[in-house]
Structure 1
Amino acid sequence: MSGEQDKKRIHETIEQFYNIISGNKEEVRDWDKFRSLFLSDNSSLAPIKSNSEKKSFNVNSFISRQENFLRKNNFYEYGLSYKIEIFGEIAHVYSQYEAKKNKEDIELIKQGVTLVQMVKDNQAWKIHSMIWQS
């Protein structure tokens, strides 16, 4: 697989992450597909908030946290730009993102940066860990 093919697959994986967590509050998310994006259930997801406690979640605790929020709120998050660096079977992704209550809204809920570390597992790129800050 060429470097450009790897970058395309990495980009698609991050887009799938955003697409699964996005939708109307009535929509059921495909959490099995979400889990398949990660190297393991112990992959780390950590929101970084200024001047507050730093928490890290594994995949299942992140899902539990998100399910509660997503049942009550419309939420659409999407990547704006990506910088992907690959070395062998590891990759680092810098993704700027925005989130809105509805796709057509002008007003943002938040915007920020997500840093993603990925590992090539056979021919698939899997998320090893993520940190983000709004």
Structure 2
Amino acid sequence: MKKILLLIIFPFYIHAVNAQQNSGDYAKHVDSVDSIINTLYEVISGEKGEERDWALFQYLFKPEAKLIPSGKAQNGDINVRFLSPQQYIETSGKWLIANGFFENEIHRSVDTYGNIAQVFSTYASFKSKSDKTPFMRGINSIQLLNDGNRWWIINVYWCSETPENPIPKQYLNE
């Protein structure tokens, strides 16, 4: 009976130990607004065929967090989708790896009050690190929470640049 109980409990123990080790390894990625934003960009970026660290990606977010792309549909309506971090991985992860994707921050403005921060982060997207011209630009609106121990991403809400909706000069370093 003890052997059966150990066989049942052991996998949970290993999972808990691994989660605790990852938590320690990942702590440096969430100790400041700068570190969590930089890690967000780094973890989704990589060359074609390069795996991403999805465990680190998920570590950045509160479990209830949302990733919210917005944009204009072909009929002209403005739409949004609400994705959990896991749904983002499931819907975009394979595409990022299959095509290569680098998202570089080109401007940031941060407002903080108490335990919350709002970051407007202008990005440029490339298929390879060696690309000179982005295939897309836009702005990520990132809401963060500091719980007294670390920063958490609450939402990443974004809008891509279009010819009729260029990025305002105050959100560019040009």
TM range (shorter): 0.7 to 0.9
Output one character per residue of 1:5-56: Cα deviation in whole Å (capped at 9) or x when no partner: xxx811211110111110012211111111111122x201111102343211
**Aligned pairs (5 A) from 1:43-54:** 43-50=65-72, 51-54=77-80
Q: Does the Cα contact within 8 Å between 2:48 and 2:128 map onto a contact in 1?
A: no
Distance 1:16 1:44 in 2: 17
Distance 2:93 2:126 in 1: 17
Distance 2:79 2:106 in 1: 27
Aligned equivalent of 1:92: 118
> Gaps (5+ residues) in structure 1?
1-7
Aligned equivalent of 1:121: 147
**Aligned pairs (5 A) from 1:1-134:** 9-40=32-63, 42-50=64-72, 51-134=77-160
CA RMSD of aligned residues (A): 1.4
Q: Does the Cα contact within 8 Å between 1:75 and 1:99 map onto a contact in 2?
A: yes
* Shift in Å, 1:70: 1.7
Distance 1:124 1:81 in 2: 23
* Shift in Å, 1:77: 0.4
Instruction: Pick 1 or 2: higher relative contact order, CA cutoff 8 A, min separation 6.
Output: 1
Output one character per residue of 1:71-104: Cα deviation in whole Å (capped at 9) or x when no partner: 3101110111111111010110010000011112
Pick the structure with more helix per residue: 2
| 1:49 partner amino acid | G
Q: Does the Cα contact within 8 Å between 1:15 and 1:78 map onto a contact in 2?
A: no
Distance 1:121 1:66 in 2: 29
Distance 2:96 2:54 in 1: 12
Distance 1:72 1:27 in 2: 8
Q: Percent identity?
A: 29
Q: Give the greater-gyration-radius structure (CA).
A: 2
Aligned equivalent of 2:21: none
* Shift in Å, 1:67: 1.4
After TM superposition, the score normalised by the length of structure 1 is 0.88
SS at match of 1:14: helix
